[in-house]
Amino acid sequence: MTPLFAALDATGALRFVSEVERGADCGCVCPVCGSSLVARQGAANEWHFAHEASLEQPECEAAALRVLRRLMLEHLQARAAAAGLGLPAFRQRVAIVRALVNLHEDVQWDVRLIGELQWQAPSEAHDPVARGRLDTGVDLHLHLHVAVDDTPPIWPECEGAQLVYRCRWPPASVLRDRRGVARYLDQQAELLWHQHPDTHGLVAGARARLETRSGQLYRNWLAMADAAGGPSHIDDIDAPPPKPLFYGPGTLPTPEQAPRYACAPDHAPNVSFTFYRLADNQSWLLYRLHSTGPTDWRSKSEKFYALAPYPRPFEGWTQALPETVGVADPFIGVIRCRSFLDAVTHLSRRTVLTRSSRDPAAFAGL
């Protein structure tokens, strides 16, 4: 708990402990509970205010923070009146991070205030201290934040732009007088954008460019991987087959003897197929790809999954699922999934019927 370094005098103005008479003659009250304070100006400790007869309430712990926030607000108001706030440019990093790509682009735009800020007394710490109008056509909400630790602040949901005037909690030496706090805020406090709607479409533009690049990279990768594929590069082809898992009454056939299903190109032996019928009446089989097929580029330990249009390719199947789910490989006749989880997540949200079986014939007519 930080000792109270300033308090309210009889007129409601903020007074630092160095600006008042010592002891009970200070004439100040607690900004939280309103009870009388004494000014402790001893030699041993940092000067501070204390509640008379230790009458403080648990909520008085926030008194020092409330005083600092008021000083920040007064400082910012003085700066706005003298020279204007000078809003920083809004900057945002747009990123796409996937299994094969990690791309980003920085976008920024200038933001100006139209007219004056409307200052207001916030009742809660997360309420804005001022509102205004921006030349980007949205409303501005200005917040204060004192970073006591690294916990990120939570602001209320807002349609417009949110700007934060923030600083770290200052060292005790700064809190001795008004000048020290003013100097600290000049040097350490900063205006930071928390959010700004994409009013110029720059974020959407950057995202579209990144998606295009990501798609190209992915297609290049697949082309390269397929060109490099084939049995010649599979170094562990002589490794013994994995021990079959016990499944049902009896053991599974060996990979060589396992049945192959034409409706699930390149499927791994003895896998389970999951059938999804979507709301638009398209049906898909989700299954694990064979890890040593001729079109394969993976090491044996990696598990890759595919979605095959079921029971056979239908008109437009290569475009039927978004690229976030996978990339169509028309040569083999499957969608190569980016990740198993993404595919399942996408399908599960749109599925009207789903079944699992080791024999895709079980889904016929569903």
By beta carbon distance, the residue nearest Zn ion is: 30
Closer Cβ to Zn ion, 69 or 196, answer by number: 69
Rounded least distance, CB 52 to Zn ion, Å: 10
Can you read off the two tokens belonging to residue 304?
């890759």
Containing 81, the helix (H) or strand (E) segment is: helix 63-83
Closer Cβ to Zn ion, 67 or 73, answer by number: 67
Rounded least distance, CB 51 to Zn ion, Å: 6
Contacts of 69 (CB under 8 A, 6+ apart): 125, 144, 146
Rounded least distance, CB 36 to Zn ion, Å: 10
Closer Cβ to Zn ion, 33 or 38, answer by number: 33
Q: Which of 121, 126, 133 is nearest to 161 (CA)?
A: 133
- Pairing status of strand 139-147 against strand 161-168: parallel
* CA angle (147 as vertex; 161, 95 as ends), nearest 5: 50
**Peptide bond preceding 309 in cis form (omega within 30 of 0):** no
CA dist 289 and 134 (Å) reads 54
Rounded least distance, CB 105 to Zn ion, Å: 50
CA dist 16 and 6 (Å) reads 4
Residues found near Zn ion in the complex (CB under 5 A): 30, 32-33, 56, 60
Closer Cβ to Zn ion, 56 or 296, answer by number: 56
User: Scanning the structure block, which residue is given the tokens 């789903």?
Assistant: 354
CA dist 15 and 176 (Å) reads 11
Rounded least distance, CB 153 to Zn ion, Å: 24
Closer Cβ to Zn ion, 64 or 161, answer by number: 64
Rounded least distance, CB 25 to Zn ion, Å: 19
Closer Cβ to Zn ion, 60 or 71, answer by number: 60
